[in-house]
Amino acid sequence: MNVCDYAHARLAASRAIPFLLGSILLLNGCRSTREWRDQADERANQWLQKAQQDVNGKTEPIIVETPADTLRRRLLLDQKLQQTDAASLGITDLANTERWQNNKHLKPFVDDLLAAKSTWNTAEPIALSLADAIVIAARHNRDFQSQKDALFQTALALDLEDHQFQNTFSGMLASTLSSSHNGDRRNTGLTNDATLGVKRTFKNGIELTSSLSVDLVKMLTGDRGSSWGILGDASINIPLLRGAGEFIAAESLTQAQRNLVYAVRDFEQYKRGFIVRIANSYLGVLQSGQRIINQEENYKRVVTSTRRSRRMADAGLLPEYQFDQAVQDELRARDNWVSARLSYEASLDAFKILLGLPPDAKIETMTSELDALQLACQTLGGEGEITNYSQVPAADAPVVLKDVDNKNAGPYEIDADKAVAIALKNRPDLRNSLERIEDAQRDVLIKEDALRAEMTIGGRASIGESRGLGQANSPDGSFRASRGTYSVPLYLNLPFERTRERNAYRNSLINLERAVRNFQRDEDAIKEAVRGKTRNLLENRSRIVIQRQAVRLAERRVKSTDLLLQAGRAAIRDVLEAQNALLSAQNSLISAVVTYRINELELQRDLGILSVTADGDWHEPSLNDFD
């Protein structure tokens, strides 16, 4: 190759290198908003699935997007409910403006809930089963959505920590037009810079950075000279004492990984409590509805008694003051009936709010759910009478009280010690509390490391020459290793002053003590809760048996006192008291049945065995699986 050919090749290279660097920067640095979002979702879901697999042995999607159509939106539109703004319908209904476009920032998906419930006519009142209510709440309850958001954001935080230990690329293009006057003439020039860099922090604490810069300068006046330079730079820092090793250097990543595991476990326990909340509210609405029926029947009985007492008083068979007593009881019955109806409406509104639906939506619960619950509780405690006086012993015979036994017990009535053993093994939040002791121990060791001397050995290499506007007439930069600059620095920071680190170390020991106490507190609280729930089940089963018999006795008493009143052998007060006793027994029975069912769910929650998905599907396991 002759001199001219070499010059032309060098000139071509001087123009090609900045172009190639610029192309690389543009191709790798320009992504759409949707691509950035998809990348974040992909990384967060990868971390979530890994943590779920480690914790639960299975994975489930955590969806934080709002569906394109929701039941709330459908109800607002189809039932023509009041609304303030398009935001009442949902985020996907926000108006597009000059600056905001929904399709750019939002990624709504099509939920299968409405498709699966195609029989729902949202223009008419919708009757929900308990299973329906839980599925709807899993999609619309705001607190539940916030829990999923927090879990997803914890995964994003872990991804950010992990990114600190990955290759981090950077790129910059700059072009500067400069003009100055040197006293004789004005000089104008153009400087073009392209820089491509990469940085990597290794989990053992080593930091490596490198960059490649290309400069192209050209004078636009005078002799119009030009020159290009290329400069490569690399450095490395290796900690030898303080901050060295993966245990210390990768602590932020370790803690982020554990935080995601904790978040997955907390979400699992939260879902169990969420199921109990929805069931409690749903059954509470059914209980309020049954109270209306009981109050209405009692109101009718009282009205009938008042009419009869009026006729008997007119016939001289009943004193006038007893008629007044009947009227007073009728007024009281009416007041209770009205109050029961309003209480039902209030509980129904609160239930709809809990589901995440408008309180004015036409939503109903299924009374068949309560009927099935009452049917399931019929066998609890057996059918025998608690008080049986078919054969009466002598009045002075010793009274032997019969203790409550486990005959005809429910499927979740187990020994308290066995229940505690199951809970201590399965409660994910207790596992979190235990592992936070490990975090505190690790923190002590890290704070101890900070007390040591700091020694870092480094390395720096710089090859090539950069060019500025004042060097436009200089020869092109040379990129030769033999002309590079190299250095190997060694830094030593002796631990003369470590007051901050000393106090941090002492605080870490205190935090360890606190973590142990917190674990002991959580363990004892779980024992107390589980033992309490086993007692509550036994108590409520006993109460169901008592109230069943109380209802039967009260029904007989109402009939007998009514007949005696007609025969002139009883006062109206006896009839009214019998009716009130029947109403009280009926309400107490339905309350005991509902409370027993809630206690069953609460026990499963406290044992950590209630199986729930993020979509609201749930399953009650058999305790035989935990022997």
Taking only the tens place, the pLDDT of each residue in 138-169 is: 999 999 999 999 999 999 999 999 999 999 99
pLDDT score, position 492: 93
pLDDT score, position 221: 83
Query: 321-331 burial, b if ≥16 CB within 10 A, otherwise e?
Result: ebbebbeebbe
Q: Please give the angle made by the CA atoms of 582, 599 and 126, to the nearest 5 degrees.
A: 75
Q: What's the half-sphere exposure (Cβ side, CA atoms, 13 Å) at 9?
A: 6
Q: What percent of the residues of the chain are helix, what percent strand, and what percent coil, each to the nearest 5?
A: 60, 15, 30
Whole-model pTM: value is 0.88
DSSP string covering 427-469, please? -HHHHHHHHHHHHHHHHHHHHHHTTS-EEEEEEEEEEEE---G
Q: What's the half-sphere exposure (Cβ side, CA atoms, 13 Å) at 32?
A: 6
pLDDT score, position 115: 66
- Give the H or E element holding residue 541: helix 499-566
Name the residue with tokens 């009869």.
Answer: 308
> Under the phi-then-psi rule, with left for phi > 0, alpha for psi from -120 to 50, and beta for the rest, what region is 132?
alpha
**Is residue 457 packed enough to be buried (19+ CB in 10 Å), middle (13-18) or exposed (0-12)?**
middle
pLDDT score, position 574: 85
Residues of the chain with pLDDT under 50: 1-16, 25
